[in-house]
Structure 1
Amino acid sequence: MTDNKGKRNGGLGRREFLATGAAVLGLGVTGFPAVLRAQPASVKVGLIHPVSGFIAFSGTQCREGAQMAIADINAAGGIKSLGGAKLEAMLGDSQGKPEVGASEVSKMVEGGVHGIVAGYSSAISLATSQEAAKSMTPHIVDVGVSDQIVDRGLKNTFRFAPGYGTIAKFAVDNLAGINQMSDDKAKTAMIIHEESLFGTGTANLLQKKLPEIGIEVLDVIKHANPTRDFTNIVLQIKSKKPDLIIPANYYNEYVLLARTMRQQQVKAKGIYSVLGGAASNYKFVNEFPEAAQGIMDCNHWFNPKSEVALQRKAAAEAKGLVYTYEVFLAYNAVLALADGFERAGSTEHDAVNAALAASTLDMSYMPYGPTRMINGQNVGARPVNTQVLDGKIEVIFPQQFASAKPVFPMNS
């Protein structure tokens, strides 16, 4: 195994090798080739995502985004402070199961991984980061929004995207503003959420915050993953007639819920998603435009006014990808990890973790403020509000990134 200075265990380090080579040449030995600088050892980056199982679409999107970042970083010269060392992907499939994700971390640590990006869902990210902490392997959470992930005080765990505490507050504050601008205000809501840490945590936060802006929560309905029939849940929505329907679930379930509500002709002033698995997704909008029309979402998004963001979007689409938040958040996570290696000038775990904890990475291609890490969380990270209008996903808040004004009620 090669350490950070290029020295092989039990052998000659780079300085000794160069000195020995110079001595040999000084003796006038002919036929000896010029001393060549050894290629730096690759930097191993573990990518652990659910590329099989019920959230395979999202997991595959994450893997694609992460691999795009690796290719771009390598094409730009690799990790320059490590002599141009290239990033090497180690791939793992969590199968949508936290325990499998943790097992993949263990295998990668044994295989000499230098840093890990994982794991799409909150539950998987919670497990992978905990396992990585045993060896203090640097771990970047790409998407997982549960604040439990960063609240445990793990010194190896970092998240550059916002968590659901920040997202829920942003969503409720903006909903209050949207409501105030309307002559037909929403007064009641129902929350429909998936059963895991992500959906349950988001629903709990919203249930507390919505009454603070004068919106009564009529009911909170939890559903399993996967769910293949939303008829009963939609009939409950119809019977209670909420002004707002607030979904928090993964892609497949979100699409089925939205389509069932349209088929059942559910009437509401708004579908206002918080971390909706499909609401800010071009695939959903393109395939089911009528079901998507008017839906608002508070979610991860890129800066639509950034040339860098638009170039990355074009590159992803040229590969046949749908440019979803999974793609660009995983890309960002690899970029952040590579920046940690670059500034540390090392792959030694403590040095990289310290570099990540002090990160000031420019992420202006996202709708973020300056990067500032507190207990592993980038407190400069922010979501946006989007709305599907005439087949397009438009940013409606914050104002400096907006491409359209909100339409509320959604059928007005």
Structure 2
Amino acid sequence: MTEKTKVRGLGRREFLATGAAALGVGLTGFPAVLRAQPAAVKLGLIHPVTGFVAFSGTQCREGALMAIADINAAGGIKSLGGAKLEAVLGDSQGKPDLGAAEVTKMVEAGVDGIVAGYSSAISLATSQEAAKSNTPHIVDVGVSDQIVQRGLANTFRFAPGYGSIAKFAVDNLGGLNQLTDSPAKTAMIIHEESLFGTGTAELLAKELPGKGIEVIDVIKHANPTRDFTNIVLQIKSKKPDLIIPANYYNEYVLFARTLRQQRVEAKGIYSVLGGAASNYQFVKEFPEAAEFIMDCNHWFNPKSEVALARKAAAEAKGLFYTYEVFLTYNAVLAYADAVERAGSTDKAAVNEALANSTLDMSFMPYGPTQMINGQNMGAKAVNTQVLKGEIEVIFPQEFASAMPVFPMNG
């Protein structure tokens, strides 16, 4: 990715102001020896930009391209003489086998590292394929803890996995119950069928009884699903205090709208990694369906000037600042930081730098970066709630922008 600047007739003053050195002329009047431009650092970006999760995949790609543009504008990789990052784009179409095939093509084309692949299933496949060549692989969003439990020295995740997110979600539900005279005692979990939804549902079903919340049903749905009426009627008949969705954006929106159309009442809609609950597009387009929904999810630090500046930059590009955008931005940033410290694109050296990363990520609601088996142990989720058309952070307290409203029905 290069930019060409067209220079038109400079006047005498402009010429002198520019300086002879800037035009490649030495003091003797002879052309200076032009330095060779350092080789670009090729970074493969593999996301589902077509298929049923194309919205999220496209958001990931846009976040990555924003990061590359910012890093290059700041001087590139300085330890490599200002080498620029160059994006190599791939489309998994939402399918793990196609994601792995994209890795194979990119490795053969000489990429130095890979950021992928949005969903957990795709991330498992792409990181496994990248491991064959020891190519550094950073997972941007995929939350399955299996991704970092296989002993792959090339695989890293700077965002939290669903193990820590589910525990955080359940602990905060216990906290919400303590704040009210009408605590939630029952729940139904509605989840999508892939590794992400199934794994999250299993963790929640195991942990919720320990907080005094009985799981009266767990319902799985396909991707894509175009009609939630039957599922919502089951919820309406069983009357759980809590409805807990774990699904991707399109299905989440349809599910939430169907709940409202069927006038389902509950003490709370409490998402865990909800595909829309922490999404400005959902809140803007369907404000009545979104109001009071809570979510435990990835989020940025609302008190960080850096995070707010990146949010403004994304919105200036016409993007909704979703977790896909900023998590993939962070993944590219982490890769560039590792190459900078390694002073090389050598794969083993970059993997070692990633394993020892102490990247300052205070623009997220994280603690200090500490990598153990490829997982950043400082990464944390937050709880959000849609209040008066705004997405507010309600937990943890040090990052909170509002107090929770619970129960949501009065």
Q: TM-score, normalised by structure 1?
A: 0.92
Match of 2:298 in 1: 300
Identity %: 85
Which one of 387, 390, 401 corresponds to residue 388 of structure 2? 390
Structure 1: gaps (5+ residues): 1-29
Which one of 197, 200, 210 corresponds to residue 199 of structure 1? 197
In 2, the alpha carbon distance for the partners of 1:399 and 1:32 equals 65
Which one of 67, 80, 95 corresponds to residue 78 of structure 2? 80
In 2, the alpha carbon distance for the partners of 1:70 and 1:308 equals 16
In 2, the alpha carbon distance for the partners of 1:396 and 1:32 equals 65
Question: Is 1:166 aligned to 2:164, yes or no?
Answer: yes
Q: What are the Cα deviations for residues 14-72 of structure 1, in whole angstroms up to 9, with x where unaligned?
A: xxxxxxxxxxxxxxxx9985322211000000000000000000000000000000000
SS of equivalent to 2:191 = strand
SS of equivalent to 1:36 = coil
SS of equivalent to 2:115 = strand
In 1, the alpha carbon distance for the partners of 2:242 and 2:172 equals 14
Residue correspondence of structure 1 range 205-224 to structure 2 within 5 A: 205-224=203-222
Which one of 330, 333, 341 corresponds to residue 332 of structure 1? 330
In 2, the alpha carbon distance for the partners of 1:297 and 1:172 equals 11
In 2, the alpha carbon distance for the partners of 1:164 and 1:270 equals 21
Which one of 341, 344, 350 corresponds to residue 343 of structure 1? 341
Match of 2:132 in 1: 134
Which one of 251, 270, 273 corresponds to residue 272 of structure 1? 270
In 2, the alpha carbon distance for the partners of 1:226 and 1:366 equals 31
In 2, the alpha carbon distance for the partners of 1:32 and 1:141 equals 50
Offset of 1:184 from its aligned partner? 0.4
In 2, the alpha carbon distance for the partners of 1:310 and 1:96 equals 30
In 2, the alpha carbon distance for the partners of 1:224 and 1:32 equals 70
SS of equivalent to 1:365 = coil
In 1, the alpha carbon distance for the partners of 2:227 and 2:33 equals 68
Match of 2:312 in 1: 314
Match of 1:355 in 2: 353
Match of 2:34 in 1: 36
Q: What are the Cα deviations for residues 194-221 of structure 1, in whole angstroms up to 9, with x where unaligned?
A: 0000000000000000000000000000
Which one of 232, 235, 256 corresponds to residue 233 of structure 2? 235
In 1, the alpha carbon distance for the partners of 2:197 and 2:184 equals 23
In 2, the alpha carbon distance for the partners of 1:247 and 1:202 equals 10
Offset of 1:411 from its aligned partner? 2.2
Residues 157, 374 of structure 2: 8 Å contact kept: yes
Question: Is 1:176 aligned to 2:174, yes or no?
Answer: yes
In 1, the alpha carbon distance for the partners of 2:135 and 2:389 equals 43
Question: Is 1:57 aligned to 2:52, yes or no?
Answer: no
Question: Is 1:380 aligned to 2:374, yes or no?
Answer: no
Offset of 1:390 from its aligned partner? 0.6
In 2, the alpha carbon distance for the partners of 1:344 and 1:68 equals 23
Q: What are the Cα deviations for residues 131-176 of structure 1, in whole angstroms up to 9, with x where unaligned?
A: 0000000000000000000000100000000000000000000110
Residues 265, 409 of structure 2: 8 Å contact kept: no
Question: Is 1:186 aligned to 2:184, yes or no?
Answer: yes
In 2, the alpha carbon distance for the partners of 1:178 and 1:185 equals 8
Which one of 242, 245, 256 corresponds to residue 244 of structure 1? 242
Match of 2:366 in 1: 368
AA at the equivalent of 2:53: I
AA at the equivalent of 2:264: V
AA at the equivalent of 2:202: N
In 1, the alpha carbon distance for the partners of 2:383 and 2:156 equals 24
SS of equivalent to 2:259 = helix
Superposed CA RMSD in Å reads 1.0
Question: Is 1:144 aligned to 2:128, yes or no?
Answer: no
Count of paired positions = 383
SS of equivalent to 2:98 = helix
SS of equivalent to 1:233 = helix
AA at the equivalent of 1:281: N
SS of equivalent to 1:298 = strand
SS of equivalent to 1:140 = strand
Q: What are the Cα deviations for residues 208-259 of structure 1, in whole angstroms up to 9, with x where unaligned?
A: 0000000000000000000000000001001110000000000000000000
Match of 2:223 in 1: 225
AA at the equivalent of 1:134: K
In 2, the alpha carbon distance for the partners of 1:232 and 1:281 equals 25
AA at the equivalent of 1:149: I
Residues 188, 243 of structure 2: 8 Å contact kept: yes
